[in-house]
Chains A and B, each alone.
Chain A
Amino acid sequence: MLALAFSVLITVYLVIPEAVFRYIFGSFVPTRSFVLTRVETVYRAVLVAIIPLLLALLLVWRVPGPSNWPFPVRDNTDQSRRSDYKIVASALYSDAEFVRTQRDFWPAFTRSSRRQARLVCWYYIMLALTAWGAGKLATKFGEYKDNRFYKWLADKFLFKYISQWHPLLTDYFVPNTVVQADILCTNDTLYQGRVTDHFLSGGELSGIILQEPRRFDRKSYLEDKASGAKPDKEKYWVSIPSKLMYFFADKILNVNLTYLDLSGKAADTRNVEKYLQVQLGKKTGEISVSVKDAAGTPSDQAKNMGKI
Chain B
Amino acid sequence: MITTLSKLVETMETGAIPVWVRDAVQSRRSEIIAELSRTGSYTLQGPDGVQVEIRAEKQHVAA
Contacts and interface: CB of A to CB of B under 8 A. Distances in A.
A287 B57 contact: yes
Contacts of B14: 275
A305 B36 contact: no
Interface string A231-244: 00100000000000
A286 B59 contact: yes
A210 interface: no
A167 B12 CA distance: 11
A56 to B, nearest CB: 30
A207 B3 CA distance: 24
B46 A286 contact: no
Given A159-B5, A294-B48, A305 B53 contact: no
Interface of B: 4-6, 8-9, 12-14, 16-18, 20-22, 25-26, 29, 32-33, 36, 46-57, 59
Interface stretch (A18-26, A105-113, A265-273): A265-273
A35 B21 CA distance: 40
Measured as residues with beta carbon below 8 angstroms from the partner, the interface class of chain A is 35 or more
Contacts of A267: 16
Given A276-B25, A288-B55, A293-B50, A306 B13 contact: no
A173 B6 CA distance: 9
A154 interface: yes
A306 B46 contact: yes
Contact of B52 (A279, A304, A305): A305
Contacts, number: 106
A192 to B, nearest CB: 17
Contact of B50 (A145, A154, A294): A294
Contacts of B56: 286-287
Nearest to A174: B12
B29 A280 contact: yes
Contacts of A205: none
B50 A292 contact: yes
Name the residue among B8, B54, B55, B57 with the largest chain A CB count within 10 angstroms: B54
Contacts of A286: 56-57, 59
Contact of A290 (B6, B12, B46, B53): B53
Contact of A268 (B6, B8, B16, B20): B16
Contact of A164 (B5, B25, B47, B55): B5
A151 interface: yes
Interface in A175-220: none
Interface string A120-150: 0000000000000000000001000100000
B54 A276 contact: yes
A257 to B, nearest CB: 8
B53 A275 contact: no
A65 interface: no
B57 A285 contact: yes
A305 B6 contact: no
B52 A280 contact: no
Given A286-B56, A293-B50, A294-B48, A306 B26 contact: no
A167 B5 contact: yes
Contacts of A291: 50-53
B48 to A, nearest CB: 6
B62 to A, nearest CB: 15
Contacts of A280: 25, 29, 32-33, 36, 54
Contact of B17 (A159, A275, A295): A275
